[in-house]
Amino acid sequence: MPDLFTPIQVGALTLPNRIIMAPLTRARAGVERLPNALMKEYYVQRATAGLIISEATQISEQASGWVETPGIHTAEQVKGWKTITDAVHAAGGRIFLQLWHMGRASHPDFQPNGALPVSASAIRPQGDAHTPHGKKPFVTPRSLELEEITGVVQQYVDATLRAQEAGFDGVEIHGANGYLIDQFLRDGSNQRTDAYGGSIANRSRFLLEVTEAVVNAWSGDRVGVRLSPTSSFNDMRDSDPIATFGYASGALNAFNLAYLHVLEGLPGHIMALEGIHVAPHIRQAFTGVLMLNGGYDFEKGTNAIAEGEANLIAYGVPFIANPDLVERFREQAPLNPPDQATFYAPGAKGYTDYPVLQAV
């Protein structure tokens, strides 16, 4: 019976364990948005993960919307990421880059010439953007014109090719957490009446076109997709998440992906949508490697693997506070508590200074 320490083939990679480092925004790239030496130290510290999924990384200037997060749309950013991937590989690790377009969750302060952010529909989300000038309320985005969509898909392709150049082992398409792809998927944010709106098949079209283009640019076994069927982050909702995400997950089978990454709080977890648990339906619809994320500890992750609910378990906050999480799980050692005040703060404090077992 497999457990968290059982090796597994995931696309083109053989992972030594099934303990995955989830993508985690940490805002350490500076105002230049350049991957740097501090980020390299952070990722290398966590290279024992079966796979590292990088923090969400903007695929273009239009895609940006969070302060001091890294990009993958300039030659300098590619060069910076290459120092990180080389170091992670030298430490025996594997790393995918998460491709990020924030859509309406951005703000004119981030956009070229102060333009409106774009989305599936011109619907303003409740909440605030984290701008260089502090928190500001989200604005009403501009609905993407039909003829613009191909160009946005191309942004994902260009970023994929740059990720390849930067030495990543693959890419994860960020289709979760209320960002652009999710905005097309869910009917709470998509009220289009053209080929990208209305039916579930139409609302899934943008996700599938992006995935097809990224797979064609690299290879299906180097591509993962992340979805969050019940997350309300960034003011998201859907009238029937089981139907929406069951369809989308089944449609993704066509691409022979490395994995599908589903972020959904376990029943009773703070991130869970009460009364609805979509992951089991996705498990039925998606025939490939399934990664689950959302409140798992060692015991819950072990049980999910053993019972066939998932093939991989992604851990977020535990990896922030425990660079040696794999070793701590293996030895059943206590975990460091996370310092939430430093999650997005600049500098090494709460980033690269958590103790490892040998130093406890």
Contact assessment for residue 19 and residue 316, using Cβ atoms and an 8 Å cutoff: no
The pLDDT, as a whole number, for residue 359 is 57
Q: For residue 1, is it within any domain?
A: no
Q: Is the pTM of this model over 0.95?
A: yes
CA distance 78 to 96: 14
The pLDDT, as a whole number, for residue 272 is 83
pLDDT at 357 over 70: yes
Domain extent, residue 183, equals 8-359
Could you report the per-residue pLDDT of 85-99, keeping only the tens digit for each?
A: 999 999 999 999 999
pLDDT band at 183 (very low <50, low <70, confident <90, very high): very high
Q: For residue 310, is it within any domain?
A: yes
Q: For residue 2, is it within any domain?
A: no
The number of domains in the chain is: 1
| Alpha helices in the chain, H assignment, sequence order | 37-45, 75-90, 149-165, 180-185, 200-203, 205-217, 241-251, 279-285, 298-306, 317-321, 325-331
pLDDT at 222 over 60: yes
Q: For residue 278, is it within any domain?
A: yes
Higher pLDDT, 241 or 1: 241
Query: What's the average model confidence in pLDDT over 48-54?
Result: 98
Could you report the per-residue pLDDT of 1-50, keeping only the tens digit for each?
A: 899 999 999 999 999 999 999 999 999 999 999 999 999 999 999 999 99
Could you report the per-residue pLDDT of 263-280, keeping only the tens digit for each?
A: 999 988 888 888 899 999
The pLDDT, as a whole number, for residue 261 is 98
Q: For residue 184, is it within any domain?
A: yes
Catalogue the active-site residues: 179
Q: For residue 141, is it within any domain?
A: yes
**Coil vs helix vs strand at 336:** coil
The pLDDT, as a whole number, for residue 270 is 80
At 338, the amino acid letter reads P
180-204 in b/e form (b: 16+ CB < 10 A) is bbbbbbbbbbbebeeebbeebebbb
Q: For residue 3, is it within any domain?
A: no
The pLDDT, as a whole number, for residue 30 is 95
The residue to which tokens 């990454």 are assigned: 261
Mean pLDDT score of the chain: 97
CATH assignment of the domain containing 322 = 3.20.20.70
pLDDT at 238 over 80: yes
Q: For residue 20, is it within any domain?
A: yes
